[in-house]
Amino acid sequence: MIRIKIIDEDDIIYARSEARQFAEAEGFSLMEKTRLATAVSELARNIYRYATSGQVEIEAINGEGKCGIVCRFIDQGPGIENIEQVMEDGFSSGNSLGFGLPGAKRLSDHFSIKSVVGQGTHIEIIKWK
């Protein structure tokens, strides 16, 4: 497992290229690698933009006879008040296009989010091979 601190923009680029390399090592197709790297880019950028700092964990896993990559996005930022609302297409609380969360969910095979206002947000995505 690798843990990447997200402090500045270059860390976003680093996180997505690491995710790509993990997927590469597991033999993911180009399409699946690209989906994963794009989702990681969106979610790592959310940390940078809304929580200022946080971390991304990337890990290769085995489950139900198949291999996959799990990525966790953890921050101690402001948290999300209304998760249902931010999961709707087109909603954004910041100065962005607002596709971050629903877009990343569509690109992943599994997506879960836990957030407590004032404490932070924890998002986990899984991409199976």
Partner 1 sequence: MKNIPVLKLGSILFLTVPENMNDAMAQYLEEDVLQQLHKTGAEAVVIDISSLEIIDSFMARVITETVQTTKVMGARIVVVGMSSVATITLLELGLDMSDIETAMDLESGLHKLGYRLQTIK
Q: Rule CB under 8 A: which residues touch partner 1?
A: 9-10, 12-13, 16-17, 20, 30-31, 34-35, 37-38, 41-42, 45, 89, 96-97, 99-100, 102-103, 106-107
CB 20 within 8 A of CB 13: no
User: Least distance (Å) from partner 1 to the CB of residue 16?
Assistant: 7
User: With respect to partner 1, which residue has the nearer C-beta, 17 or 119?
Assistant: 17
Question: Residue 57 carries which DSSP code?
Answer: E
User: Least distance (Å) from partner 1 to the CB of residue 65?
Assistant: 26
Q: Which two tokens stand for residue 30?
A: 């180009």
User: With respect to partner 1, which residue has the nearer C-beta, 63 or 94?
Assistant: 94
Non-local (6+) Cβ contacts of 84 within 8 A are none
| Helix locations, 26-126, DSSP H | 30-46, 83-86, 100-107
User: Least distance (Å) from partner 1 to the CB of residue 129?
Assistant: 16
